Homo-oligomer: A and B are copies of this chain.
Amino acid sequence: MATIKDVALLAGVAPSTISKYINGGKVRQENEEAIRKAIADLDYRADPFARGLKMGRNRSVGILLPDMTAPFYGNVVTTMSRLMREKDYHCLISSYGANHGLERDNLKFMLTCGIDGLVYAPEDLSAEEFKELTANCGIPIVLIDRIIQGVDIDAVLVDNADVVYKAVNQLLAKGHQRIAIITGPKSVYTAKERMVGYLRALSDAGILYDDALVISGDNDFATGYRSCDALRRLKNPPTAVFTTNYDITMGYITAARERGLHIPEDVDIFGFDSVETCSMMQPPLPVVQQPDTLIGKTAAQYLLDRLEGYAGDPRVTRLACKLSLEK
Interface residues of A (CB under 8 A from B): 1-2, 42-43, 45-53, 58, 60, 62, 68-71, 74, 77-78, 85, 90-95, 97, 105-106, 109, 111-114, 135-138, 221-222, 225, 250-251, 254-255, 257-259, 276-277, 280-282
Contacts and interface: CB of A to CB of B under 8 A. Distances in A.
A55 B114 CA distance: 15
A277 to B, nearest CB: 5
Contacts of A259: 282
B277 A45 contact: no
A49 B50 CA distance: 7
For A45, A78, A93, the residue with the greatest tally of chain B CB atoms inside 10 Å of its CB is A93
A280 B221 contact: yes
Given A113-B60, A138-B1, A281-B258, A53 B49 contact: yes
Given A45-B111, A94-B93, A69 B60 contact: no
A29 B111 CA distance: 29
Contact of A53 (B53, B60, B109, B251): B53
A105 B70 CA distance: 24
A225 B137 CA distance: 47
Contacts of A58: 49, 113-114
22 contacts: A2-B136, A42-B136, A43-B136, A45-B112, A45-B138, A48-B112, A49-B50, A49-B51, A49-B52, A49-B114, A58-B113, A60-B109, A60-B113, A68-B93, A77-B95, A78-B97, A90-B106, A91-B94, A93-B95, A114-B114, A222-B280, A251-B280
